[in-house]
Structure 1
Amino acid sequence: MRWLFMFFPLMLLTACSQGPIAAQDTGVKTGKIVHGKQQELTAFEDIPADSGTKLDPESSIIISEGDNWLGRLTLNNDMSPFHTFEYYRKHMPQLGWNLVASVKSERSVLTYIKGNRVAIVQISGSQFGNSKTTITVSPSTGVSLKQP
């Protein structure tokens, strides 16, 4: 009977421990994993991502690939919402996106247009001071903006 009291805690410890989490093949190249941390987001070359950005594949919906992909990317990073807003405001135009509108608030929104696509970047904070960013890219409705 005494062995049961020794075996039960050992069984609980074994059941609660986790080994390394294996990377799942989601069909989306999300960058290389080093020491359990994703280093870069590489599948979407027209969307900027710093080295701390991680794709949430379960909340993301991707249609097509390359320069004409459409869908929703859900990204998490270790920057504050303020810094994330400034990051996208600075880096999206460097990849050819033109800023159409922006709202900086508790849930910030940046709207961009590039060719025949529109990108809506929504940024919110998490309880740990990090950011959750949702980028939705869809075809434009055919309304074009005149460039100066």
Structure 2
Amino acid sequence: MNGMHRLLWAFLVAAGLAGGLAGCASTSSTPSVGVGPDGKVQNPVQLLGQLPLPPGAAIRAEQSLIIGAGDNWVGRVVLDVGRDFDAAYRFFLETYPAQGWTVVSAVRGKNSFMVMTRQERTATFEMVDGGMLAGSVVSMTMAPRNAAVMVPKKP
């Protein structure tokens, strides 16, 4: 994990702790999210708001870290997207820009990467083509677009 990833991770953890404390003070109840016997989230709309997922995609709950819910969540979601890697890649590349996301960069290969922004949010997609036998996995990271980044000082 390089320094930038560590900083992003530290920011997400700090934001989650702050959000969790704020959530404790709230009196409104959030509907619970069910996880099936296969370890996959039953209703991802409760967590991810209006972000579309490829048809048949399932969230790997044990590998995901979702802080908050709805359209303001931050964190990482790991998805099983099935065996058709090309369809999943096209889904993100076509569907998200149609919903107002701007593609900042896209790299296509066995390990593909995309970065998109919309308003004050950044979405990063890391896609691993597992081939016809293993299935493919997408790791989607959502973070604030202009988060204050602190540069670590050398001791």
Query: TM-score range, shorter-chain basis?
Result: 0.5 to 0.7
Give 1 or 2: higher helix fraction. 2
One of 44, 61, 69 as aligned partner of 1:41: 44
One of 118, 128, 151 as aligned partner of 1:124: 128
Stretches of structure 1 that go unaligned for 5 or more consecutive residues are 1-26, 143-148
User: Are the aligned partners of 1:29 and 1:41 in contact in 2 as well (CA < 8 Å)?
Assistant: no
Give 1 or 2: higher strand fraction. 1
Secondary structure of 2:45's counterpart equals coil
Letter in 1 for 2:87: H
Q: 1:29 to 1:115 in 2, by over 3 A?
A: farther
Cα shift at 1:80: 2.1
Counterpart in the other structure of 1:78: 82
Counterpart in the other structure of 1:18: none
The normalised TM-score by structure 2 is 0.62
User: Are the aligned partners of 2:49 and 2:69 in contact in 1 as well (CA < 8 Å)?
Assistant: no
CA distance in structure 1 between the partners assigned to 2:105 and 2:118 by the alignment = 13
Which of the pair has more CA radius of gyration?
1
For this pair of structures, how many residues does the alignment match?
A: 112
CA distance in structure 2 between the partners assigned to 1:51 and 1:134 by the alignment = 16
CA distance in structure 2 between the partners assigned to 1:28 and 1:87 by the alignment = 25
Measured on the aligned residues, the alpha-carbon RMSD in Å equals 2.6
Secondary structure of 1:51's counterpart equals coil
Secondary structure of 1:49's counterpart equals coil
CA distance in structure 1 between the partners assigned to 2:69 and 2:43 by the alignment = 17
The normalised TM-score by structure 1 is 0.65
Counterpart in the other structure of 1:115: 119
Structure 1 stretches (4+) deviating beyond 6 angstroms?
Answer: 37-40
Cα shift at 1:125: 1.7
Cα shift at 1:54: 0.5
Q: 1:41 to 1:65 in 2, by over 3 A?
A: closer
Cα shift at 1:61: 0.4
Stretches of structure 2 that go unaligned for 5 or more consecutive residues are 1-31, 148-155
1:99 aligns with 2:98: no
Cα shift at 1:94: 2.6
